[in-house]
Amino acid sequence: MAPRLRAEHDLPSAELDAIEERLHDDNRRLTGHNDDRALIFALRDEQGLAVGIAAGYSWAGIAELKLLWVDEAYRGLGHGRNLLDAFVAEAAARGSLRIWVSTHDFQAPGLYQEAGFERMAEFAGWPEGHSNIIFCRTLAA
């Protein structure tokens, strides 16, 4: 029986994760790089609730910061920069040569620029009236 294409916008996250892992297996096999690891720092309040996170991964000499977030009640206190600095330090310790991050113009582009990231690309109109900005920071070898 031939495979059928169909919309599955509510695909369970566990199934999507399993498919993504198959893609990672292919990437490892095709490149010979088997060093992919999660790279995550959390900021927790007194009750243990996550009020900030820097989450991404490192693989093949590159790190990608996929999520940097601080709860509104804790913003403006340096927590975002502390999370970013911890992520950068760990990426460097793992031997990453570069760190990539994507952010919107209404999020934290200034934070990345102040931390030594260089603007590499900008996609205007994502969302309409705003831009998505790609930053990269090259680390010392």
Order of all β-strands in the sheet with 50-59: 37-44, 50-59, 62-70, 98-104, 131-138, 118-124
29, part of any domain:
no
CATH number of the domain within which 103 lies: 3.40.630.30
Mean pLDDT for the chain overall: 96
Q: Say how far apart CA 2 and CA 109 lie, in whole Å.
A: 47
The distance in angstroms from the start CA to the end CA of the chain is 52
Number of separate domains in the chain: 1
Q: What is the pTM (predicted TM-score) of this model? A: 0.91
132, part of any domain:
yes
- Computed on alpha carbons and rounded to an integer, the radius of gyration of the chain in Å comes to 17
Q: What is the pLDDT of residues 108-130, one digit of tens each?
A: 999 999 999 999 999 999 999 99
15, part of any domain:
no
78, part of any domain:
yes
The CA-based dihedral angle spanning residues 91, 19, 104, 121, taken in that order and rounded to the nearest 10 degrees? 70
2, part of any domain:
no
Q: Domain span at residue 87?
A: 36-138
Residues in the chain: 141
Q: What is the pLDDT of residues 56-98, one digit of tens each?
A: 999 999 999 999 999 999 999 999 999 999 999 999 999 999 9
Fill in the DSSP letter of residue 49.
Answer: -
Residues 6+ apart with CB under 8 A from 10: none
Q: What is the pLDDT of residue 141?
A: 66
12, part of any domain:
no
Q: Say how far apart CA 137 and CA 92 lie, in whole Å.
A: 11
